[in-house]
Amino acid sequence: MEFAPEDVDAYNTGLAELAALTHAEEGCIEYGFARDLLNPNLIQVTECWESKEALELHKQTDHFRNFIANMRPLVQMTFRGYQAQVDQSLIDQSLVGRPSPDLAGSACES
């Protein structure tokens, strides 16, 4: 999502509430946000859900619908969705919590 500089504060306020409520939802494994280092008006959203059904239920919640309704006038959004089956972790669990130069990217684990 990309915001005009003057709208980023409004987004951050709404995002804090949305994230807290979403993390409490059944089926939410990960719900994260990252600001682009080269373009601070660009926010990447990463979600991981236990099932497609859990994601669909999330989209029906009041907090999600209110966030989208309030933010849509302020933001340019591009949505990309991916479905993945995780058979095994790609992360060496002995490295969790420590930086590792050989890890490029991240994985969502359940």
- pLDDT of the residue at 56: 94
Give every CB contact of residue 109 below 8 A, 6+ residues apart in sequence.
29, 86, 89, 91
DSSP letters for the chain: -EE-GGGHHHHHHHHHHHHHHHHTSTTEEEEEEEE-SS-TTBEEEEEEES-HHHHHHHHTSHHHHHHHHHHGGGEE----------SS-SS-GGGTTS--TT--S-----
Ordered by where they begin, the domains of the chain are 2-78 (3.30.70.100)
- pLDDT of the residue at 27: 94
Q: How confident is the model over 22-77, as pLDDT tens digits?
A: 999 999 999 988 888 998 888 888 888 999 899 999 999 999 999 888 877 777 76
Residue 104 has pLDDT above 60, yes or no: no
- pLDDT of the residue at 25: 96
Question: With a threshold of 0.85, does the pTM exceed it?
Answer: no
Q: Cα 83 to the chain's mean position, in Å?
A: 15
